[in-house]
Amino acid sequence: MNPHFLEAPSFDRQRERFLSAARLANASLTEWLHPLKGPRQETLATDVAVVGDPHARNRLVVLSGTHGIEGFYGSDCQIALLDSLRTHGVPEGVCVVAIHLVNPWGTAWLRRVTEDNVDLNRNYLAFDKPLPANAGYESLHEIYLCPELEGPARTLADASLAARIARDGHAAVMSVVEAGQYVHPDGLFYGGREPAWSNRTLRAIMEKHVATARTAMCFDLHTGAGAFGHPMLMAITEAAYPMLSHMQTLYGPWLHTIVTGPASTTNTGIAATATGYTSQAMLDQLSSVDLMQFVIECGTYDSARSHRLLRDDHWLHMFGDPFDATGRRIKAELLEQFFPADPHWREMTALRAQQVFSRAMAFLSSTLPGDDTSN
Any domain includes 158: no
Residue 309 lies in a domain: yes
Q: What does the alpha-carbon distance between residue 255 and residue 246 come to, in Å, rounded to a whole number?
A: 11
Cβ atoms of 269 and 276 closer than 8 Å: no
The reported pLDDT for the residue numbered 375 is 42
291-300, 333-342, 361-370: the lowest-pLDDT one: 361-370
* 6-54 residue pLDDT tens: 888 899 999 999 999 999 999 999 999 999 999 999 999 999 999 999 9
**Domain ranges, residue 270:** 11-131+197-366
Domain-located, residue 31 = yes
Q: What is the mean pLDDT of the chain?
A: 95
Q: Do the domain assignments include residue 335?
A: yes
CATH number at residue 202: 3.40.630
Residue 232 near residue 226, CB atoms below 8 Å = yes
For the stretch 115-174, pLDDT in tens is 999 999 999 999 999 999 999 999 999 999 999 999 999 999 999 999 999 999 999 999
Pure H helices in 100-226:
104-108, 135-138, 152-168, 170-177, 197-209
Q: Is residue 249 part of a domain?
A: yes
How many domains does the chain contain in total?
A: 1
User: Does 369 score more than 50 pLDDT?
Assistant: no
pLDDT digits 0-9 by tens, 205-264: 999 999 999 999 999 999 999 999 999 999 999 999 999 999 999 999 999 999 998 888
Whether residue 247 lies inside any domain: the answer is yes
Q: Is residue 137 part of a domain?
A: no
Residue 341: inside a domain: yes
- Tell me the pTM: 0.96
Q: Which residues pair with 240 in a beta bridge?
A: none
Going by C-beta distance under 8 Å and a sequence separation of 6 or more, which residues neighbour residue 126?
none
